[in-house]
A and B are shown apart, each in its own frame.
Chain A
Amino acid sequence: MLAAGIINFIILYKVPEEDGQTKKEQFGIYSLVEPGGIGLSAVNAAFTMIQGIISAFLLPMALEKGIGGAGIHFTVSAVVLVAARALMAEYMNRISLAQNLYPAFVCGVLTLVLVGRADAQWFLIAAAVMKAFSHGMSLSLRFRRRLYGRFLEKKEESRAVRCT
């Protein structure tokens, strides 16, 4: 029912015009996907892929290699993520997207190398720290601002064109 309600809202949503009349918002693939953001979305997909792969296969890998206490990886990752975001948020929002993402790429690669070569628990703990930094930096406000900023500008332009 919730899904039906959301679909109904999307299809029947009417944008109020300045003269008091309403106009039906055109519904199409471009109202769901912002073409200019597909590239950055793919970059985000590469980062979340790390999360998915590690969540799915870390424990079977630890069992196969005989590494005990692999669950600590997720605890350390969560704690470091919260702490790093709380402590570094202000700084990360001041630097550029590239300055955020290049260290995130390095941390992401290090995460996968550490997990791939892991034969003791400390590898997994180090990987958790790297993963938290990678994830935290890849989802900075800059990323969203770059996407939404462009999206909102476009929306404003189209609205201005409709009003004139």
Chain B
Amino acid sequence: MYIGGDLGQTMGPMLGGMVTQYTEYGTMYLWSIAPLLVAWIYFFLREKVKTK
């Protein structure tokens, strides 16, 4: 879990920096909702499978 946390904190600014080369900071923040939504969907499906 901690490795994941560290990876997120490392990869986030790196990916954000790559995105800001092509767009504004504000748009980059809005784009960074995408990984969170993916994690949300993953967790939702995981919980659904678990409760079956």
Give the most central of A44, A52, A98, A105: most B CB within 10 Å. Answer: A52
Q: What 1/0 flags go to A99-118 for Cβ under 8 Å of B?
A: 00100010011001101111
Q: Which of A39, A54, A98, A116 contacts B42 (CB 8 A)?
A: A39
Give the most central of B15, B39, B47: most A CB within 10 Å. Answer: B39
- Interface size for A (C-beta < 8 A) is 40
21 sample A-B contacts, Cβ–Cβ < 8 Å, listed by A number? A37-B1, A41-B4, A46-B35, A47-B8, A48-B6, A49-B32, A50-B32, A50-B36, A53-B13, A53-B29, A57-B20, A57-B25, A57-B29, A64-B24, A101-B43, A105-B36, A113-B33, A116-B26, A116-B27, A116-B28, A117-B26
Chain B residues in 8 Å Cβ range of A1: none
The majority secondary structure among interface residues of chain B is: helix
**Is the beta-carbon distance between A144 and B36 smaller than 8 angstroms?**
no
Chain A residues in 8 Å Cβ range of B40: 105
A40 at interface, CB cutoff 8 A? yes
Residues of A within 8 A of B (CB): 33, 37-57, 60-61, 64-65, 98, 101, 105, 108-109, 112-113, 115-118, 143-144, 147
Tell me whether A143 and B1 are in contact in the complex, defined as CB-CB below 8 angstroms, given that A43-B42, A112-B33 are known contacts: yes
**Is the beta-carbon distance between B12 and A48 smaller than 8 angstroms?**
yes
Chain B residues in 8 Å Cβ range of A55: 13
Q: Which of A44, A53, A61 contacts B12 (CB 8 A)?
A: A53
Chain A residues in 8 Å Cβ range of B1: 37, 40-41, 44, 143-144, 147
Name the distance in Å between A30's Cβ and chain B's nearest Cβ. 13
